[in-house]
Structure 1
Amino acid sequence: MKHVKKIAVALVLFVAATSFVNAQSKVAHIDVTQLLSAMPEMKTAEAELKKLSETYNADIESSMTELRNKYTQYENEAASKSKEENEKRAIELQGVQKNIGEAQQAAQRELQQKQQELFAPISDKAKAAIEKVAGEQGFDYVIDSQAGGGLIVAQGKDLLADVKKELGI
C-alpha cells in the first residue's frame, strides 16, 4: 500500500513537472531584501524609525530612572513612616511601574504602525518596478531569491540590476 502511494505521488509530480516544462514559462529571480535596502527611501525611513525609537526609549528610560529614585527614597524613608504611608507609597510605585509598562507597549505599537506606514509605499514602488521589468523582459514568474527564502537553484535571470536601473539606483 505504501509503495502504491509513493508511485502515485511520484506520478503526480512527474506530470506536474512535465506540464511545467511544456508550458515553457520564463522564470526570473530577485533578492527583494537587497533591492529594498538599496533604495534611498528605505534608508530615510529606517533613519526616521530609529530616531523615533530613540525618542521613545529616552522617555521610558527617564521614567524608569524617576521610578528607581522614588523607590530608593521611599525605601530609605520607610522606617520613619507609618505602615499606612508605606502601603500608600507601595501602591503609588506599582501604579508608576504599570504606567511605564503601558507606555512601552504603546511605543511598540506606534513604532510598528509607523514602520508599516513608511515601508508600505516603498515596498509597493519596488513591486511595481519588478512587475514592470519582468513584463518588459517577458517573464511569467519572479521568485524572491533572498537567503532562506526556499530558492535552491538560481540559474534563471536575476532582475536585481535591471530593477535598480528602473528605480534609478
Structure 2
Amino acid sequence: MKNLFRSVALVAVVFLGVQHVNAQQKIGHVNADEIFQLTPEFKTANDQLRTLNETKTKELQGMYEEFQKKQSDANEKYRSRSEANKETIDAELQVLGQELQNIEQRIQEVQRVAQEDLQKKQQELLTPIQTKVLNAINSVAKEKGYAYVLDTSAGNVIYFQGGEDISMDVRSKLGISADAQPVTPAVPAAGQPQQ
C-alpha cells in the first residue's frame, strides 16, 4: 500500500512538473517571407534576377519575331502560288516549312534553358539570404527564450492569438529599418520567364 501511495505521488509530481514546464514555454511568430524581402541582399539579388529575366525574354522575343517573319513569308508565297509557278513555290514553301520547324525547336530549347538558368541563379542568390534570415530568427528566439517560433508566411498557421511577434527583433538583428517595405520578386517562384 505504501508503494502504491509513493507511485501515485511520484506520477502526480511528474505530471505537475511537466504541466508547469509547458505553461512556461514562450511562443513567438514571425513573417519570414516579409523579412526575407526586406533584406538589402534580396534587393540586389532581385535586380540581378530581373536583368537576367529581361535578357532571356529579349532573346526569345527576337526568335519569335524571326518565326513570325518566316511564317508571313510562307503565307505570302502560298497566296502568290499559281499553276505556272506551283513547283517552284512548293519547293520554297517546303524549305520555309523546315526553317519554321527548326526555329520552333530552337525557341523551345531556349525557353527550357532560360528556365533552368533562372532557377539556378535564384537558388544561387536566394539560398544564402534564406540561411541568413533563418539564423537571425533562431538567434532572436534563443536570446528571448522562445520554445517555438511560428512562421506566419508559410501558410501552415491557420490561427494564432497571443505569442509575440518577433519580426521587429529579427529586422533589427539584420539591420533592416522599421519602415522598410518588401520588394516584389522579379521572377515568379517557379522560375519561369515573365511574358
User: TM-score when scaled to structure 1?
Assistant: 0.82
Q: How does 1:77-88 map to 2 (within 5 A)?
A: 77-78=77-78, 79=81, 80=85, 81-88=88-95
Q: Distance in 1 between matches of 2:99 and 2:66?
A: 13
- What is residue 123 of structure 2 aligned with on the other side? 116
Question: Aligned-pair RMSD on alpha carbons?
Answer: 1.9
Are 1:32 and 2:43 counterparts?
Answer: no
Q: Distance in 2 between matches of 1:49 and 1:106?
A: 15
Q: From 106, 111, 116, give the equivalent of 1:104.
A: 111
Q: From 152, 165, 174, give the equivalent of 1:167.
A: 174
Contact 2:136 2:170 in 1 (8 A): yes
Q: Distance in 1 between matches of 2:138 and 2:29?
A: 12
- What is residue 22 of structure 2 aligned with on the other side? 23
Q: Distance in 1 between matches of 2:134 and 2:154?
A: 19
- What is residue 137 of structure 1 aligned with on the other side? 144
SS in 2 for 1:118: helix
Contact 1:32 1:144 in 2 (8 A): yes
Residues 123 and 86 of structure 1: CA distance in aligned 2, closer, same or farther (over 3 Å): same
- What is residue 50 of structure 2 aligned with on the other side? 50
Contact 1:145 1:154 in 2 (8 A): no
User: TM-score when scaled to structure 2?
Assistant: 0.71
Structure with greater proportional helix content: 1
How many pairs were matched up?
151
Specify every segment of 5 or more residues in structure 1 that has no aligned partner in the other structure, as ranges. Answer: 1-18
Q: Mark the structure with the bigger radius of gyration.
A: 2
Residues 56 and 34 of structure 1: CA distance in aligned 2, closer, same or farther (over 3 Å): same
Q: Distance in 2 between matches of 1:91 and 1:154?
A: 64
Aligned AA for 1:40?
P
Q: Distance in 2 between matches of 1:124 and 1:28?
A: 19
Residues 20 and 70 of structure 1: CA distance in aligned 2, closer, same or farther (over 3 Å): farther
| Identity of matched residues, % | 33
